[in-house]
Homo-oligomer: A and B are copies of this chain.
Amino acid sequence: MAEKAPKEMRLTKQRQAVLAALRSTDTHPDAAWVYQEVRQSLPGISLGTVYRSLAALVDQGLIQELPQEGKVLYDANITPHQHAVCTSCSRVFDLVLPPLDQLYREARRRSGFHSISAYRLDFYGLCQRCAAA
């Protein structure tokens, strides 16, 4: 599990466009959405390139992956935060909560894991729009 030497990464126009598209929204889009979006400025881009660009940006720590129910969503917000997922419309909302320091220590103790590098906390419920309907 050694970190691999961060090999040179070129900032091609495709990757810039993918990053810009992700940064243009506060939703949590999937690769297909990014593809549609980026095609407006780069009509010739291929879906494979979108996937590879997303992977490269994740490697560089510029974006976050958010695996969710059979697909991967992406998030340009890389500050620590959690998510609230609507069980009806599946939209994902950002949620800033105080850090789980106590629970973190407790988790390390009870899991037997020597180190815990991260956690993920998702809440599930009905968003305002779906609760109204």
Contacts and interface: CB of A to CB of B under 8 A. Distances in A.
A55 interface: no
A84 interface: yes
A33 interface: no
Contact of A69 (B67, B86, B98, B128): B67
Interface in A78-133: 82, 84, 86-88, 93, 95-98, 100, 103-104, 106-108, 110-128, 130-131
Contacts of A5: none
Interface residues of A, number: 43
Q: How many copies does the complex hold?
A: 2
A126 B97 contact: no
A1 interface: yes
A103 B114 CA distance: 25
Given A70-B72, A130-B1, A116 B125 contact: yes
Contacts of A123: 104, 107-108, 111, 113, 116, 118-119
A130 B131 CA distance: 44
Contacts of A69: 67
A122 B119 contact: yes
B115 A84 contact: no
Given A1-B88, A87-B117, A100-B103, A110 B95 contact: yes
